[in-house]
Amino acid sequence: MPCRPNHRLAAPIAAVFVILGCSSDATRPVDRPMVGSVAAFGKGTTTTLAVTSATPAFGDQGTTVDVHIHGSGFAAGAAATLLLHGGADAHVKTNSTTFVSSTELVANVTIAPDAPLAFWDVQVALGDKNGVGSEAFEITSAVILGSARRAGM
């Protein structure tokens, strides 16, 4: 059965920006943006923040480390935070965030000796925008394997 919208467009120009398709309920039209619409060309949109990786990708408990955060949309004033399961945790403190370029920041991070061993999200906030690299940083435990001085060495 063909899809028949049960309403008319208010103005013919609106047809440029909307394609009417059918949902699973053939009596209800579904509005979808058209490729080539104002939204697709980026008018009225803002640059988004994205976090793609962190280097190093890990840090040991009880250390302070400079983490290079890679992504896009960064600008001066951006602030990096490590999140555990989507929320801030007092075991990890960002001491400073330094803007390097639109694709790189450096976050100086202190990891408490009792910080949870886990993969942490790396969040970059700038104004009302946020970008998150899910589980981009791992907190690890340095394990001393033994002394270099052993009997017979």
pTM: 0.65
pLDDT confidence of residue 50: 97
Tokens read off for 92: 């990890």
Using alpha carbons, list the distances in angstroms from residue 123 to 23, 32, 47: 36, 31, 16
**Structural domain boundaries of the chain?**
12-41, 50-140
How many alpha carbons fall within 13 Å on the CB side of residue 64?
6
Amino acid identity of residue 33, one-letter, is P
**Domain 50-140: homologous superfamily in CATH:** Immunoglobulins (2.60.40.10)
CB 56 within 8 Å of CB 65: yes
pLDDT confidence of residue 77: 97
pLDDT confidence of residue 60: 97
Strands (E), the chain: 18-22, 29-33, 50-55, 58-60, 64-72, 79-84, 87-88, 92-101, 104-111, 119-126, 129-140
Q: Using one digit for the tens of pLDDT, what is the confidence trace for 18-31? A: 333 444 444 444 44
